[in-house]
Structure 1
Amino acid sequence: MLCRREVLTGSAAVAVAAALAACADDGGSVTDASVVPSGSASGGVTASANSDPVVLKWTWKGQALTSRVGPAVVQSGYTIVRVVVSADSDESFSLSGWLFGGGLDAYTMAAVRLLSLRDKIAFLEVGRSKEGLTADVEAGASVELFPVFGAAPEDMKSVDLLFPNAGVALGVPVVDAGEAGFDVTAAIAGSKIDEDIHSGPFELSSLVVAADRSADTEKDDVSTTVNVSGDVLFATDSAELTDRADELLGSVVEQLELYPSGGELAITGHTDDVADDAYNQGLSERRAKAVSDRLGELTELSAWEVSVSGKGESEPRVANDSDENRQLNRRVEIVLTPTDPSEASATAPNAGSAGGSGDVPEPKGPVGRGPDGVDIEIDGVPARISLDSVVRYEGYLIGTVKISPEQEVSVPLFLLRIPDELLYIRMWSSYAATGFTLLKGESRHLVVDFTDSGEDNRILANHEMSNLVAGDTRSLPVVWPDTGEDTVIMDMIGEDDAFGQHLAVRLTDIPVVEP
């Protein structure tokens, strides 16, 4: 016997749930959409308070949709999540190849990310089934989707999922297969798993850069890496520290003081490819030694095992094929590997910065309050961008940027991109929404990312944004490191490059809320 599960709320949901339970007791199987209790949360970032699915409300191609995310089940070496999408009107709807996938993986859920923000890990989606993503859905019906990922750890009671163009579902419950409400074995079998994809887990990392790009700080669960510009620390061809050196090394001191127990401290000098190898090697060693000596004067290093070396031009960050790239390669890299990484949690979230806590830099585009939104243009078409709030959750800030055009518009692929000089630090995709940054004083917090098994850096934000139609309010989820503030500033730098103009806008007074 087959029992059909409909999307209902309130007393109707209770009645249907009872009928389904009776049906299941009689040996029936439950398929199609989920039963959701009344009073479920909604919005671009939502969390489950119990075992209920997490509800996301969003708009796609001008139509208001609801996604019910969960539960998740770990079985046969995979984590599978039930996602039910329904329309908030009596009209039929269809999904799109660019909704959860894109590129060579159109009409899949390849761009969905399974996360544990608590454990700072991410998984790639491995299913390549197009089921449910290619057909029109009749009015009043829903579509059931099953993204599949690597197996979550056995002790994990909940997971988080990022859906491009929809939002972030926090605290999706992980249940046993018998409590899932769907046939887990059949769902995994029908997912067309690509076994060549390494799903993870991959460690999340965060990057903070100085607004003047003189330094950047990358953090993960194990270590903190600070890269300081050689052009700011030293004069050309010199190993003598400049007057600004203490200002930049102050951010390193802040990081060191987070870990009273000390650990390993590696200081490495790097140069570009100008001049010969031997000269560059000697210069890099002298510069690393100068930084090490000065840090020892600025703070106590007795708890740290310090190593000092130079790599010359042998380990560039990026190719030495332009003046801008050579500038990135002229640097001193300082890696802190603390004995007890948990000591940092006793301080304010993400204490320390990449470039001081002074005044924020001047904006490059229009400015307005995030909840109110700001008028912008997309390829000459008037539109509005807003960010109502961000959610503080497990050491991160999660927000959903919304963009609404006045009429249909073809969106330039590079509209939401960060400028090249920052993009190349992590070698992010040119098509991804890397341009959303948070400003804290003179420090710029970039989107959180992770490095997959192919050494590609993947951001926790939209992979790209497809064309907009009139009446559309596109939801663009983003995960940032926690800045430790009660309100934040979201800034897009813009700037011209070979691909054209990227969006420049600043949203201020964005409240930080609890989930």
Structure 2
Amino acid sequence: MSRAARRALVLVAATALLAACTGPEPAPIPTPSSTADAGPAAEDVVLTRTIPAGGADVEVAVHPVVRVGDHAVLTVDLSSDGATEAEDLYIGSTFAVDSFVSRLNPSALRLIDLERDEVYEVALDSENYPVAAPSDVHSIPADGVRLQVAYAAPPADVDELGLYLPGAAYVEPVPVIDGEVPAGDDLDLSTVELARALPLESFSRELAGAVTTAASTEKVEISLGSDVLFAIDSADLTPEAQAAIDVAAQQLSDRAPGTVTVVGHTDDVGDDAYNQDLSERRAAAVVAALGARIDTGTYPLEPSGRGEGEPLVPSTSAENRALNRRVTLTLTSEITTPSTVGTTGELAPFDDGPVGTGADGVTVDGARPYRVTIPEARVVDGHLVVDVQVTALDEEVDSSFGPSFLSGVWSYRGEDTLTPDHTSAGLVVLVGSTAVYPLDYQIDVTDTFPGGTWLPAADVASLSRIDGGQTRVMSGIYPRLAETDTVTVQVKAGAGSQAFRLTDIPVVEEP
């Protein structure tokens, strides 16, 4: 039995379970018209979901992804028990490349390959609008509507992809087949200007922030906080430095051979010459410690210092200067061993907002009251998937927007980067003192944000309308953590976000 066939048995049970959280029980998955050996046909429905949209419960029937030359087409059929207002049906949008013009709503339907750590964005035309038919679904007629969306074609050996459908739990697998695209509303693939699969990257902080790691399949960048590594004005490693360097050595050893650059940085206190010398001596100290932990024939180490010349953030406060005091390690090579983020230390106290277990949830009072629960976290293809259930507790209908308490204006990647404020990127997974952020991907680089605009493998439409009594599921996809039975999820208080913490969330291995 193929991997796709084994998972098909699980999806039937998962569909029923999700329906209890997101609306009426979906229709049974039809039996494919083709044989089991041949796989599903393009017109077969391979899974169904119910999502809240425009004040209605919208049934979504998903067909296989059809590969057509350099492109692929996802077909979904939308139906509802009643038509919705044109301006209210909002599936979700993301930002257009190189601009702040919102794309039309089909762009939030992303295909994800967790085996290769890639995300397939909706294809764009020459004006940065999604290549989809219809181009923007505003309402659902009595007989439903078929939506077809274009993407880059996955490689020939990819036979299934995950689907991020805003409003529903992240689902997989959706079969990928070759053949004719199902009949629809004249999707024009000739208008595709940009269709791409982008690498998913991870960002984590370990040992209470002493080690910060940004990793992709091709490169890893590790930042070691100098205040943990060294005493003030010293290049001698502290006893606490050993654990941080152990973490760095393990992360490097998960990669293919390559040269590791080790760069020391200081703050701007003191003169340039002193800081340059201190940064070089600190880089040399880290190289000496790493050399005792890794094979320097396989991973040659190249130390250097930048002094105060390359600050991470403006040196406008004591906190920022502490961030600028660091030693960075960079290795450009492919990952060879499926790695996990280490979990050490104790969970920090939290008094910024309500605290509850994942099963019991918490009430977050923003512009409206919402109940937030996370009954479990799932391990899917070596990643952690967290399905956050947000229920509107009031009786409001025709609401103008959804749970704005998740839409923080910030980016965990630094001040020269942007994470749009209508995403749920602020949902952080914690185990002990380790913090793990959603996988993300860079969609563009601008003069304003030279570090890039990043979208998370999480909900990019967190402001979507939820009427009283409705529940929206917001999934986040994270790196796999070291073996742990439970995790904690929290949101920090900030501009546009309200703090809460959910603890004791069980981690469940999917078959």
Which position in structure 2 is the counterpart of 1:204?
200
**Residue 341 of structure 1: which of 331, 335, 341 is its match?**
335
Distance 1:290 1:211, change over 3 A: closer
Aligned twin of 1:137: 140
Within a 5 Å distance, the mapping from 1:32-431 to structure 2 comes to 41-42=15-16, 51=40, 52-87=45-80, 90-93=81-84, 96=88, 98-101=90-93, 104-105=101-102, 107-125=104-122, 126=124, 127-129=130-132, 131=134, 133-139=136-142, 141-178=143-180, 180-182=181-183, 186-189=186-189, 193=192, 195=193, 198-210=194-206, 212-258=208-254, 262-298=257-293, 301-337=296-332, 341-342=335-336, 344-345=337-338, 349-350=339-340, 352-353=341-342, 357-364=344-351, 365-379=353-367, 381-407=368-394, 408=396, 413=404, 415-417=406-408, 424=415, 427-431=418-422
Letter in 1 for 2:300: E
Measured after TM superposition, the shift of residue 503 of structure 1 is 2.5
TM-score (norm 2): 0.79
Amino acid at match of 2:423: A
1:507 corresponds to 2:499:
no
Q: CA deviation at 1:478?
A: 0.9
Find the residue that maps to 1:285 and give its secondary structure.
Answer: helix
The DSSP-based 3-state class of the residue aligned with 2:365 is strand
1:263 CA displacement? 3.7
Distance in 1 (CA, whole Å) between partners of 2:443 and 2:103 is 20
Please give the secondary structure, in 2, of the residue aligned with 1:136: coil
Is contact 2:211–2:244 with CA below 8 Å preserved after alignment? yes
Return the offset for 1:137.
Answer: 1.9
Pick closer, same or farther for the CA change 1:224–1:309 going to 2, 3 Å.
same
Look up the SS of the partner of 1:332 in the other structure.
strand
Unaligned runs of 5+ in 2: 1-10, 20-25, 96-100, 125-129, 446-451
For residue 182 of structure 1, what is the amino acid of its counterpart? A
Which moves more between the two structures, 481-490 or 453-462?
Answer: 481-490
The answer to whether the 8 Å contact 2:440/2:455 transfers is yes
- SS of 1:208's partner is strand
Q: Secondary structure at the match of 1:187?
A: coil
Change (3 A) 1:428 1:105: closer
Give the Cα separation in 2 of the matches to 1:201 and 1:151: 9
- Write the distance in 2 (CA, Å) between the matches of 1:44 and 1:188: 34
For structure 1, the residue ranges without an aligned partner over 5 or more in a row are 1-36
Shift of 1:481: 0.8
CA displacement, residues 385-405 of structure 1 (integer Å, 9 cap, x when unaligned): 112223322221223211112
Q: How many residues align?
A: 458
Tell whether 2:428 aligns with 1:442.
no
SS at match of 1:236: coil
CA distance in 2 between counterparts of 1:64 and 1:75 reads 32
Q: Which amino acid in the other structure matches residue 167 of structure 1? A: A
Q: Following TM superposition, by how much is the alpha carbon of 1:459 offset from its aligned partner in structure 2, in angstroms?
A: 0.8
- Which segment is superposed worse, 315-324 or 280-289? 315-324
- What is the percentage of aligned positions where both structures have the same residue? 25
Kept in 1, the 8 Å contact 2:203–2:436? The answer is yes
Q: CA deviation at 1:40?
A: 8.5
**Taking structure 1 as reference, are residues 156 and 278 closer, same or farther at Cα in structure 2, changes over 3 Å only?**
same
- Residues 173 and 241 of structure 1: CA distance in aligned 2, closer, same or farther (over 3 Å): same
